[in-house]
Amino acid sequence: MNASAHEWQDAEVVATAEVADRIRRITLRPSRPPQGRTVQPGEHLKVLVGIDGSEVKRSYSIVDAAPDGSDVSLTVFHTPNSRGGSAYMHSLQVGDTLRVTQPQQNFPLRIGAPRYVLVAGGIGITAIRGMASLLRRLGADYSIHYAARSPEAMAYREELIAEHGDRLTTYFDSESVFLDAHALISTMEAGAELYMCGPIRLMDAIRRAWRELELDPTNLRFETFGNSGWYEARRFRVNLPRLGVSTEIGANETILEALQKIGVAMMYDCRRGECGLCQVKVTDVDGRIDHRDVFFSDRQKNASEKLCACVSRVVPHDPISATSTAQLTIDVP
Ligand code: FES
């Protein structure tokens, strides 16, 4: 990635469209499109979104782009369980301007595998769709497995059927047709690569099956959004006794953001639960930890001794109780 990929620029909203239930496609025209290169599958934009009067960075996968990068489309799911960025993105109108980076790559497609399995859950299709198109154009052997709440909630369903035919398999919660991660992965031949993007439950199921079947870990590649968990995001309190501070974490902010706001020096990089740099030590928890990262192993998550402050949260022991508030006591490196 060249240095300019991290520079911020203005981008104008040039089109918006509802493409499925609570899913909006937003096309941006950056003031400085990437020079001399095309946007590749798996790339994303960082966007400054407005949340509670502050500007916060969020990452959104690029679903498609003009060959010269002059127009770039994102697709955003509006969920009450989000960290607030999706509400901002859904409020954008044609003519609005926002701040974005150049396209950045964390999820590259490796060309040359004997077979590819692409797995998308919900809005995770944004990262996977471009890969599928490229593999079709290359004549590669690939299949797509795409799960959503219902047909109405499945973005780009018609386009994918038209483009990929029987290489596409769909799964719908509303029809009780679920993706069986273990069954899918047990059909994979040696050397096949799996690319996935979706909610943490789906990713965890696939990673667990991958380990159980003792497949080569380098052939499993994934992209996270770091914003989907096991429980609905709720307000909770974090205490740092060593520093003598305590703060409330709103439903739309992360522990990392809230601690930075009150001046706690934090280490971080990806802000997506992947690198582990933001990890903090848990010394006490009144509630349950909702681990939303893909950095720690299942064993480490069960031990609940550490968590990734950029994505993970806590919920009350009774997560559907409207009145109780969880508390977390931590120490930072
Ligand atoms: S900053 Fe990378 S896991 Fe939190």
C-alpha radius of gyration, the chain, whole number: 20
The SS3 assignment for 124 reads helix
What is the predicted pLDDT for the residue at 5?
Answer: 67
Cα 271 to averaged position of ligand 1 atoms, centre (Å): 4
Pocket test for ligand 1, best of 58, 254, 268 (most atoms within 8 A of CB): 268
What is the predicted pLDDT for the residue at 322?
Answer: 65
What is the predicted pLDDT for the residue at 179?
Answer: 97
Burial 312-331 (b: 16+ CB within 10 A, else e): bbbbbeebeeeebebbbbbe
Q: Which segments of the chain belong to CATH 3.10.20.30?
A: 236-331
**Order of all β-strands in the sheet with 236-240:** 245-249, 236-240, 326-331, 279-286, 306-308
Q: Is 117 in the pocket of ligand 1 (CB under 6 A)?
A: no
Q: Is 278 in the pocket of ligand 1 (CB under 6 A)?
A: yes
Q: Which segments of the chain belong to CATH 2.40.30.10?
A: 3-105
CATH topology of domain 236-331: Ubiquitin-like (UB roll) (3.10.20)
> Cβ(47)–Cβ(102) under 8 Å?
no
Pocket test for ligand 1, best of 59, 270, 294, 297 (most atoms within 8 A of CB): 270
Q: Is 275 in the pocket of ligand 1 (CB under 6 A)?
A: yes
Q: Is 226 in the pocket of ligand 1 (CB under 6 A)?
A: no
What is the predicted pLDDT for the residue at 307?
Answer: 96
What is the predicted pLDDT for the residue at 1?
Answer: 43
What is the predicted pLDDT for the residue at 81?
Answer: 57
> Cβ(42)–Cβ(109) under 8 Å?
yes
**pLDDT lower than 70: segments of the chain:** 1-5, 80-83, 225-228, 319-323
Cα 311 to averaged position of ligand 1 atoms, centre (Å): 8
CATH says 116-223 is which class? alpha beta
Burial of 77 (0-12, 13-18, 19+ CB in 10 A): buried
What is the predicted pLDDT for the residue at 87?
Answer: 87
What is the predicted pLDDT for the residue at 2?
Answer: 45
Burial 91-113 (b: 16+ CB within 10 A, else e): ebeeeeebebbbbbebbebeeeb
Q: What would the two tokens of residue 32 be? A: 């400085």
Pocket test for ligand 1, best of 223, 267, 275, 306 (most atoms within 8 A of CB): 275
Q: Which segments of the chain belong to CATH 3.40.50.80?
A: 116-223
| DSSP strands (E only) in the chain | 9-20, 23-30, 43-51, 54-65, 72-77, 97-100, 104-105, 116-121, 142-148, 168-172, 193-197, 220-223, 236-240, 245-249, 279-286, 288-290, 306-308, 313-315, 326-331
For domain 3-105, give its CATH number from 2.40.30.10, 3.40.50.300, 3.30.420.310, 3.40.50.10110. Answer: 2.40.30.10
